[in-house]
């Protein structure tokens, strides 16, 4: 790719970004768009739907930037949660690293690269190949390479220092958040699996007996888990029907009210839909009750056991409980609304089997994805396209078209394929047997990251230059040499990737095109949907891999092609301010892991560093500077030792809270007058939502069924006097 | 090797065994040999030294077999400890496995092998090559091989069943032993490392403050560890000198009393050694006191922290204590007399460095050992020896000599080299930074096992046939084929190895040649050494690898050369009865790990099984039966899955005791009136022996120094009224 092609791409994308920003700053002030651009405030009741968001004029302004910028770290955490804060810290960390790298890269490395004569490119500046700015242009054995050598050492040192302080900072925030948090059910609860049910007894009795015996002072209550997948389907069906029914009642006499009962609602008798819906809802309600009353027999040998103190729960969590280590297996409970209930309905054998399937499918997907990648790579070689479609020759020879096709199209197509991957990975992770949505997302995040690194980085690098090198790649000794040959050659592709995909991506994130269209369509065609309006949550498994991958590109190409760094810096700056805005006004956190995504980011940064170092070792070998190559060898070893230390120093804090914190926090609570109320809530926190009494139960059936959920949980503390919350639900 | 050579070897070794047994049964009845053949009883005070062991006649009898046989499992455990019992269970397990294998092997597989015509050996029965009895003799593609195929499956199944029940049995015994044990200091104590000492404070204060704060109800006392290596050397020197002095005093006017003070005690003035010793002892005692009083400054940030209950200790052990995970690192404390004190004197950097050295040295030793192995293997090729030493040709051609050399000499030389290995491995393990002798022995046991398997099994197999195959061996795909070619060829060597080395080894274990000679020499030349008589302890790191290795031979050769099995059975029978005798009468346990050696044995048995299966896969490939080869492939996978299950099911029991056991045991103790006495002892259990007041202190110096050790340990329970034990020691 030549310089002017890159500049074309930059121009197009800058234009796009500018359009997006302008449109955003106009559209967000429209009262109708408030549920697109500030759904968080609406869902929290801070703003009425359709209200005016702010009092500014409707001309495009940049006031939103100021408002996104202003909140301090602690304000941001208290508003958006620690996970969101960690997400923003990825940008802060990247900005720090790449500001340093950008200064060193453009002021020191770039001139050295440009002054070399390795590539004989005598065209004028505008038509110069981008390779002239990369390390490929430095002459073999040149002393200038020692500058690159020093840069590799200094950069590694600086990144490691930033990593260390970032890990320490986030760990301290995690502890601080824990100290300042209100008592939450998941802090007091563990999940116990493999409960040995004595013959003739029930799981319920077994749990109570065991914990009363061995944790008499700390045990509070428990709720046994039941196989409820059938019930879940019924309840969901019922709720959907109920929603449609209420909608129908609101607009009396609408044409939708009567419909024929035949095929496609066209043939057959005219039927009053209201009657029809009410009848089926009655059926479902009865079925639900029958199913609920037969739940007693569907006990799963698992239970959520709550304790009176966090420390008590931690003790039960960390100790091997029973003599048989396959019994009483303990696990930290997720937040109540974060529990992935379908997990419990699946039998052990099916779980084991679906784990295997998920593993195989994930690998298959990763390998099969090489096909679209190879096709996309074909586009960068225009001559092949010309021979395939001879009729297009005249168009393809136009300068602008060729620049768009080589600089823009491949990335667009790749992205179209890639957009399906996160959803597929979420599905595979949910097959793997995690007990909570947050763990499913964490696992999917890892999968998407590997997928991205493998399929975008390695596949592009190796297929673009020579796919047959894959064979060499499997020999560890050849690894640095092959990478050193292939990676610099793809610098221009990745530069275009950052500009075309990275920039537009953050801009369109701000603009929220799809929700905007949906909202518009809804206002025009649909009715009043405000009752089931739900604010979106940020899909970490999609966003984190993307940002980390840009970080990987920056780290690996810092030495090879420092021209990339300014474009990356623009990306991270845009990303920082836009995602701050989105997290403050758009997304509502669905769960709170307490910053558990950071270790993933840390690990992949270390991976990027080591990859960079291996490539540099190979480069020095290729450039006939074996001494520098040999002297770089200790660098990956030291980096990995540093990582080892960080894992020991910080990772345990992200797995569980230490005794010191738990005890301090428990002592704080002792003086809290609200604790007895909290303990009452704790009793029912982990009841399966499918087992709760249904909303429409009273209306469509006269019979009343005992509340299965509450008979489940036993409590040692005094019962709460008013059971208002659950009474309310039975209309 | 031909059949008659094997029979010669069998005859020689049977003769040797018989001689050993006869001598043993005569010698053990001599009153003078009682400290050789029943040191355990002497050290426990059950027998007086020089007393008659029993009332039988002095003719050779087999009464000892009956006495070794009689005790039940529980009696055996209460006498010899659980570790000794586990050691004996290795024999029981092997006997079970190889009785089954022996029946199947000799009755079914051996006839099939012998009827084959793969090796055209038309010599008469006596001169038949041993290979005629191995699988090499079966014709290619023969249907008889399907019997071998079935045998592999059945054998794997049977071994796995035995393994499972053995693991379960030993786990149950471990729990039972724990329940029946008296309160022991190490059950109540943990080792805490990485204590963060506040500036200006001491470690002592930091520990007390932390545990009083976070474990107020369970914390009992602690003792901070000090850097005492210098002191240890002084104390040992002093004790040696003190011993020599008392010996000298006993035999007044012995010629040893006066000696010249010059070189080698020949030149110079005559000196009264009594005066000389007393003077130096006085010096040492003063030095010890000076060193002891300066100990306060030599605190190591580590302490043994004792708790009031086992469960309390387990909680502190399993929880992450401080916010910084590199502080307050907890570890189960070993038994007080099992602590490896030198570990604490070494700085962190030296420990890290010596770990590296130990790792490198261990690998270097394993590789360099191939040289003697290769030399020994040369001996089995007599023709090479003849060309090297032409003058010996006439002797070498004698039938008996050649048979002795090929059947006996190689093993003897190999054994001579091998006998140094366990001691070296113990040294390397002690460099690796274990805090107790038992862990050092466990680690050395693993090292010796790998060494044995690699250097005796693989090196013999591959160098005997072709050392250049090592290259092929590194390619996993070639692995089964290379092994299948090489392993059966070495069957005769290993048969001779079992007969010559295995049998004689157990017989000489019974006979205790070296202690016998030492005892005799002592009685003739030395004086009365009864005061510092110490009963030996069994070196598990030498014995277990040997037995497990014989098990590995049996498992791998069960399909290939079933002729080996009867010889193995004889070995295990002899071993069972002889080691029972030794453990009951000779060895005194130095530590009690509670059967923690069993998981090692289990893992290596699984390793043997998988090795056998891989060889069998290769064999079927070589014998042109690819279907059988393919059908054997699931076998190693299933075996490894079985192992995975066993690890989950049983291994945690061998790492720590579950909450259930600890709480039950603690509740038992609550009613025990002796507990307060035990708590008093607990205060001082983990004081460094070098810091205790020295025996000869009062006699050789008038000054008295404060008892450093006892000022160390703080206690929350009431102080014991009489500090008799420590007072006694200051003579």
CA gap A47, B730 in Å, rounded: 84
Q: What is the arithmetic mean of pLDDT over A488-516? A: 85
A27 and B CB contact within 8 Å: no
For A174, name the nearest residue in chain B, comparing CA atoms only: B323
B658–A315 CB contact, under 8 Å: no
**Secondary structure (3-state) at B55:** coil
> Residue A688 and residue A694: Cα distance in Å, rounded?
12
B263 alpha-carbon distance from chain centroid: 42
Average of per-residue pLDDT across A198-213: 91
Tokens describing residue B591:
């530590």
Write out chain B residues lying below 8 Å of A318, CB-based. Answer: 315, 318-319
- When comparing pLDDT for A250 and A567, which is higher? A567
Q: How confident is the model at residue A613 (pLDDT cuts 50, 70, 90)?
A: very high
Other CB atoms within a 10 A radius of the CB of residue A674 amount to: 10
Lowest mean pLDDT among A221-235, A306-320, A599-613, B183-197: A221-235
Nearest CA in chain B to A647: B325
Cα distances from B57 to residues A643, B22, B27, B61, in angstroms, run: 72, 14, 12, 8
3-state secondary structure of B219: strand
Q: Which residue has the tokens 């975008």?
A: A456
Q: Which of A415, A396, A567 is nearest to A9 (CA)?
A: A567
Residues making up chain A, counted from first to last: 731
> For A193-207, B499-513, B713-727, which range has the lowest pLDDT when averaged over its residues?
B713-727
Q: Does B325 touch chain A (CB under 8 A)?
A: yes
b/e map A357-385, b = 16+ CB within 10 Å: ebeebbeebbeebbebbeebbebbeeeeb
Confidence of residue A713 (pLDDT cuts 50, 70, 90): very low
DSSP line for A119-150: S---S-GGG-BGGGGSGGGSPTT-TTHHHHHH
Please classify residue A11 by burial: count the beta carbons closer than 10 Å to its beta carbon, then call 0-12 exposed, 13-18 middle and 19+ buried: exposed
Q: Do B319 and A648 touch (CB under 8 A)?
A: no
Instruction: Quote the mean pLDDT of chain B.
Output: 81
C-alpha distances in Å from residue B295, one per residue of A488, B283, B580, B682, B692: 61, 18, 46, 22, 12
Among B168, B155, B97, which residue's Cα sits nearest to residue B639?
Answer: B155
Question: How is residue A300 annotated by DSSP?
Answer: E
B212–chain A Cβ distance below 8 A for any pair: no
Burial of residue A253 (number of CB atoms within 10 Å: 0-12, 13-18, 19+): exposed
Tokens of B50: 């020089």
pLDDT recorded at residue A714: 41
The whole-angstrom separation of Cα B366 and Cα B454 is 8
Provide the chain B residues 52-111 that lie in CB contact (below 8 A) with chain A: none
At A1, the pLDDT band (50, 70, 90 cuts) reads low
Nearest CA among A481, A495, A473, A336 for reference residue A406: A495
DSSP 8-state class, residue B562 = T
Which chain B residues are Cβ-neighbours of A322 within 8 angstroms?
Answer: 658-660
Q: What is the DSSP letter of A2?
A: B
pLDDT given for residue B720 in this prediction = 38
Residue in chain B lying closest to A216 (CA): B663
- CB-based contacts of A205: which residues, under 8 Å, 6+ apart? none
- Dist CA A584 CA A603 (whole Å): 27
CB contact under 8 A, B323 and A658: yes
How many Cα neighbours within 13 Å face the side chain of B185? 23
Instruction: Give the other-Cβ count within 10 Å of B266's Cβ.
Output: 8
Q: Smallest Cβ distance to A323: which of B315, B322, B660?
A: B660
Question: Does B161 reach chain A within 8 Å, measured CB to CB?
Answer: no
Span A427-452, average pLDDT = 91
Chain B contact for A450 (CB, 8 A cutoff): no
- Are A321 and B651 a contacting pair at CB < 8 A? no
Mean pLDDT across A417-433: 88
More confident residue, A389 or B696: A389
Residue A715 — very low, low, confident or very high, per pLDDT cuts 50/70/90? very low
- In angstroms, rounded to a whole number, what is the distance separating the alpha carbons of residues B378 and B355? 36
In this predicted model, what pLDDT tens digit does every residue of B356-410 receive, in sequence order? 899 999 988 887 887 777 776 666 666 666 666 677 777 767 777 776 766 667 7
CA atoms within 13 A on the CB side of A422: 16
Vertex A642: Cα angle to A641 and A644 (nearest 5):
60
Cβ within 8 Å of residue A556, ≥6 positions away: A457, A487, A608, A611, A612, A615
Structure-token pair, residue A477: 């000794």
Tell me what pLDDT residue A88 has: 95
B303 contacts B203 by C-beta, under 8 angstroms? yes
Which residues, listed in sequence order, are joined to residue B299 by a DSSP beta bridge?
B226
pLDDT-derived band of residue B69, with 50, 70 and 90 as boundaries?
confident
**Does the predicted interface ipTM exceed a cut of 0.90?**
no
* H or E element at residue A190: strand A189-193
CA distance A551 to A98: 9
pLDDT of residue B659: 92
Q: What is the pLDDT of residues B307-331, one digit of tens each?
A: 999 999 999 999 988 899 889 999 9
Max Cα–Cα distance, chain B, nearest Å: 90
Res A534: pLDDT: 77
Concatenate the DSSP letters of all residues of B177-196 into one string: HHHHSPP-HHHHEEEEE---
Nearest to A659 among B321, B653, B661 (CB): B321
Q: Which of B214, B649, B650 comes nearest A659 by C-beta?
A: B214
Give the residue from chain B lying closest to A663, CA to CA: B214
H/E stretch holding B614 reads: helix B598-622
Contacts of A653 in chain B (CB under 8 A): 323, 325
Closest CA to B449 of B548, B363, B575: B548
């Amino acid at each position: 790719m030549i310089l002017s092609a890159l500049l074309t791409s930059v121009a197009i994308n800058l234009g796009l970004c500018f359009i997006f920003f302008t449109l955003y700053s106009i559209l967000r002030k429209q009262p109708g768009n408030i549920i697109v651009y500030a759904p968080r405030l609406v869902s929290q009741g801070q703003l009425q739907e359709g209200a005016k968001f702010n009092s500014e004029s409707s001309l495009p302004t940049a006031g939103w930037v100021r408002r996104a910028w202003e909140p301090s770290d602690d304000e941001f955490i208290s508003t958006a949660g620690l996970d969101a804060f960690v997400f923003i810290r990825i940008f802060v960390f990247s900005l720090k690293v790449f500001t340093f790298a950008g200064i060193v890269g453009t002021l020191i490395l770039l001139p050295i690269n440009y002054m070399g004569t390795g590539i004989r490119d005598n065209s004028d500046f505008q038509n110069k190949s981008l390779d002239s700015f990369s390390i490929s242009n430095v002459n073999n054995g040149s002393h200038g390479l020692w500058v690159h050598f020093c840069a590799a050492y200094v950069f590694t040192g600086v990144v490691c220092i930033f990593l260390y302080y970032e890990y320490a900072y986030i760990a301290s925030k995690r502890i601080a958040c824990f100290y300042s948090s209100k008592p939450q059910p998941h802090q007091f609860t563990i999940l116990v699996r493999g409960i040995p049910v004595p013959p003739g007894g029930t799981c319920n009795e077994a749990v109570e007996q065991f914990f009363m015996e061995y944790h008499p002072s700390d045990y509070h209550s428990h709720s046994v888990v039941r196989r409820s997948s059938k019930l879940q389907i019924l309840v969901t069906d019922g709720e959907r029907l109920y929603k449609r029914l209420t909608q129908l009642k609101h607009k009396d006499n609408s044409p939708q009210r009567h419909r024929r009962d035949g095929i496609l609602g066209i043939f057959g008798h005219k039927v009053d839909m209201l009657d029809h819906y009410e009848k089926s809802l009655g059926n479902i309600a009865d079925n639900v009750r029958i199913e609920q009353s037969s739940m007693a027999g569907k006990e799963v040998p698992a239970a959520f056991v709550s304790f009176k103190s966090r420390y008590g729960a931690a003790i039960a969590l960390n100790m091997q409980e029973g003599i048989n280590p396959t019994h009483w297996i303990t696990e930290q409970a997720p937040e109540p609304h974060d529990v992935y209930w379908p997990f419990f309905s699946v039998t052990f054998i099916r779980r084991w089997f679906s784990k295997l399937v998920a593993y195989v499918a994930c690998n298959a997907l990763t390998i099969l994805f090489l096909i679209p990648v190879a096709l996309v790579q074909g586009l960068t070689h225009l001559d092949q396209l010309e021979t395939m479609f001879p009729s297009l020759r005249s168009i393809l020879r136009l300068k602008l078209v060729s620049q768009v096709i080589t600089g823009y199209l491949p990335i667009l197509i790749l992205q179209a394929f890639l957009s399906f991957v996160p959803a597929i990975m979420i599905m595979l992770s949910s097959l793997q047997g995690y007990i909570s949505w947050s763990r499913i997302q964490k696992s999917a995040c890892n999968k998407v990251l590997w997928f991205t690194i493998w399929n975008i980085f390695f596949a592009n690098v190796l297929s673009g230059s020579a796919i047959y090198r894959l064979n060499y790649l499997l020999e560890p000794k050849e690894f640095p040499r092959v990478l050193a040959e292939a990676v610099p050659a793809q610098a221009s592709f990745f530069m275009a990737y950052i500009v075309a995909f990275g920039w537009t991506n953050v801009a369109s994130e701000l603009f929220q095109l799809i929700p905007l269209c949906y909202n518009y369509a809804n206002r025009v065609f649909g009715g009043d949907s405000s009752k089931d309006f739900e604010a979106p949550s940020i899909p970490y498994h999609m966003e984190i891999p993307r940002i980390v991958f840009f970080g990987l590109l920056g780290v690996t190409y810092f030495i090879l092609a420092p021209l990339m760094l300014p474009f990356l810096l623009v990306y991270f700056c845009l990303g920082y301010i836009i995602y701050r805005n989105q997290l403050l006004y758009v997304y509502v956190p669905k769960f709170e892991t307490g910053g558990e995504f950071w270790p993933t980011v840390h690990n992949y940064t270390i991976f990027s560093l080591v990859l960079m170092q291996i490539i540099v070792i190979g480069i020095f070998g290729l450039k006939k500077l074996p001494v520098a190559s040999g002297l770089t060898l200790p660098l990956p070893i030291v980096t990995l030792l540093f990582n080892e230390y960080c894992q020991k120093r910080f990772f345990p804090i992200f797995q569980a809270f230490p005794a010191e914190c738990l005890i301090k926090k428990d002592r704080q609570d002792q003086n809290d007058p609200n604790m007895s109320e909290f303990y009452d809530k704790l009793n029912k926190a982990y009841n399966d939502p499918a087992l709760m009494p249904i909303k429409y139960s009273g209306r469509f059936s006269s019979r009343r069924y005992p509340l299965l959920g509450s008979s489940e949980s036993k409590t040692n503390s005094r019962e709460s006097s008013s059971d208002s919350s659950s009474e309310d639900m039975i209309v």
